[in-house]
Amino acid sequence: MDGYLTTHVLDTARGRPAAGMEIVLHRIEGAARTELARVVTNADGRTDAPILPRTDFAPGVYELVFRVGAWLDAGDMPGPQPRFLDEVPIRFGMAEAAHYHVPLLVSPFGYSTYRGS
């Protein structure tokens, strides 16, 4: 199959890439949730390689979990505990072999996502 998955995380509060954020990818099958990958964003807020490479692609339901709270705690943005945002899960489907890009725009108090290109 020729599908694969990438992401890009941007810190909208500071207007820069979210470097050093851990992201976990799961495949969802019914009630089962299987971890497939665990990666950290680079200086550009991206991963060094696709989170789900072409060789491992299969249509189905997936979930990216962005560890926003841990990233905020490790950075220079102090905040109240517990954090308003901690882990941000984004569950989505990949129906066909294509490039799926799921970016995250994040601040300590909000986030948004979309299917990118």
Mean pLDDT of 3-21: 96
pTM (two decimals)? 0.95
Q: Give pLDDT tens digits for 42-93.
A: 999 999 999 999 999 999 999 999 999 999 999 877 788 899 999 999 999 9
Look at residue 50 in the predicted model and tell me its pLDDT. Answer: 97
How far, in Å, CA of 50 to CA of 59, rounded?
16
Query: How far is CA 82 from each of CA 44, 69, 87, 108, rounded to the nearest angstrom?
Result: 27, 9, 12, 11
**Pairing between β-strand 4-6 and β-strand 99-101 as defined by DSSP bridges:** parallel
Distance of alpha carbon 101 from alpha carbon 27, whole angstroms:
16
Q: Where are the domains of the chain?
A: 4-108
Can you tell me the mean pLDDT for 9-28? 97
Domain 4-108 = CATH 2.40.110.10: no
- Which amino acid is it at 104? L
